Amino acid sequence: MAGLRERKKEQTRRRIAEVALRLFDERGYDAVTVNEIAEAAGVAKVTLFNYFPTKDCLVTEGVKDDLAAIVSGRPEGCAPLEALRRAYLAMAAESTGGMDVESLLARIRVISSSPALMGAMHAVRMGERYELATALRDADPGGDDLRAQLMAGQITAAVTTLQEVFFHRIAAGEPLEEAGRRLAHDVELAFDLLEHGFAPREDTP
């Protein structure tokens, strides 16, 4: 019975988010009210806020990458950067199956056209960076806060760039399978640079 309730809750959450994204994409984020979203989704306003505490959460929830959890939950003997590399290679492989491209593009359009949502996304990324810095510091007891913060800043910047490049390729009409293949290559490049530095490699002509 508990499983059925959870499935119904997830269906309601998904319906609200899908309706909100459609309305935002059609009319603009600022032009759509929470009351309109609740009515279109067939739920009470209080129910909507039970699932999404703020209006921007209707768009930004689910976009956060839990980098800190990847580092904290890595297998014994696996370095933080290697754990992150493996996780993003797995994501690149998964991106070719089951992704709703139209929904992804709609989300990108809505976020990029709204200063309020761009600010909310910036706050999300800042939160990711601070949480990752804490996880990296805990993973290296001999390190210090500044080292962890610098590492977290570089990692989150690299991950954000990878995502932006991937999204731009999809928006330009690149087939999902090809975009996923190129993303895997980009992940390897990004983490090679993070691990070995940005100076030319010794084998570079």
pLDDT per residue as tens, the chain (205 positions)? 668 888 999 999 999 999 999 999 999 999 999 999 999 999 999 999 999 999 999 998 767 789 999 999 999 999 999 999 999 999 888 876 667 888 888 999 999 999 999 999 999 899 999 999 999 999 987 778 999 999 999 999 999 999 999 999 998 999 888 999 999 999 999 999 999 987 665 554 4
Residue burial 135-167, b: 16+ Cβ < 10 Å; e: rest: bbbebeeeeeeeebbebbeebbebbeebeeebb
- 100: how many CB neighbours lie within 10 A of its CB? 10
Say what the pLDDT of residue 205 is.
46
Say what the pLDDT of residue 203 is.
54
Q: Positive or negative CA dihedral for 118, 95, 99, 49? A: negative
Say what the pLDDT of residue 98 is.
64
Rounded Cα distance between 176 and 174, Å, is 6
Q: 111: helix, coil or strand?
A: helix
145-171 helix and 101-112 helix, angle to the nearest 10 degrees: 120
